[in-house]
Amino acid sequence: MKFTKMHALSNDFIIINNIKQHYYLKKDIIKKLSNRYTGIGFDQLLMVELSKNKNIDFHYRIFNADGNEVNQCGNGARCFAKYIKYKKLTFKENICVSTNNSIIYLKFLKNNKICVNMGTPLFDPESIPFLGKLSNNGYSLFYNNERIIFHIVSLGNPHCIIQVSNLSNISINLIGSFIQNHKLFPNKVNVGFMELINPNNIKLRVFERGVGETNACGTGACAAVAVGTKKKFLSNKVKVNLIGGSLNIVCKDNHIFMIGDAHYIYDGIIKL
């Protein structure tokens, strides 16, 4: 199987061109491929497919390292855009791409950055889904007898956003795993920990479904800014600082726009 390795802010992917070749990878195969010691190693596997709609350029599928298919990945979307341009699958500057549950728009900018229109954030519990009840300050769960206040939002995939005073004092893996696997999130959830620097800057770490903590999460960055603008402690243009680098997130006309780069690493062939 031919594949391409790419990364965006050190969030790494393999991309498979499934237009001319037709691979249907089972969960156990994807898990083996994602292993960083005995496979290729990646956070997500992306597939490029033809669209069945003449008004849409490509179809985009995303699989987490555990083999489960998900509906959206912001950093993956930029790698997807870079890939189809690099492989000359398109010469257009504006691309329309379908995912399992939405349509996204990709735009190539002059500074080698890519702008992704991530659509409209959804804050209703049904879109996550989340089975808890809203309190005065947001939603909450108890962890080790301590109340954790959080907000929920969907941008094609579900996010739980927790605002913290200092990221270095937070047990990301323990709290992230606890919330992600809580019974109130029947489909699990991505857990983002946000530290406010000022209305135009935040720090963010994300514990992702099927992966664990990653160096960056594009939809997580969008979700954090969506919550911050809704709660009016963030402006409509925010720099999100992640472990792997930074993204610029813009809120305009109820849509979230993510601006960042993506990088080609190498092409490879692996025997399945």
Which of 115, 160, 217, 222 is an active site residue? 217
DSSP string, the chain: -EEEEEEETTEEEEEEETTTS-----HHHHHHHH-TTTS---SEEEEEEE-SSTT--EEEEEEETTS-EES--HHHHHHHHHHHHHTTS---SEEEEE-SS-EEEEEE-TTS-EEEE----B-SGGGTT------SSSEEEEETTEEEEEEEEESSSEEEEEEES-GGGS-HHHHHHHHHT-TT-TT--EEEEEEEEETTEEEEEEEETTTEEES--HHHHHHHHHHHHHTTSS-SEEEEEETTEEEEEEEETTEEEEEE--EEEEEEE---
Q: Is 160 a catalytic residue?
A: no
Q: Is 73 a catalytic residue?
A: yes
Which of 73, 160, 222, 251 is an active site residue? 73
Question: Which positions are catalytic?
Answer: 73, 217
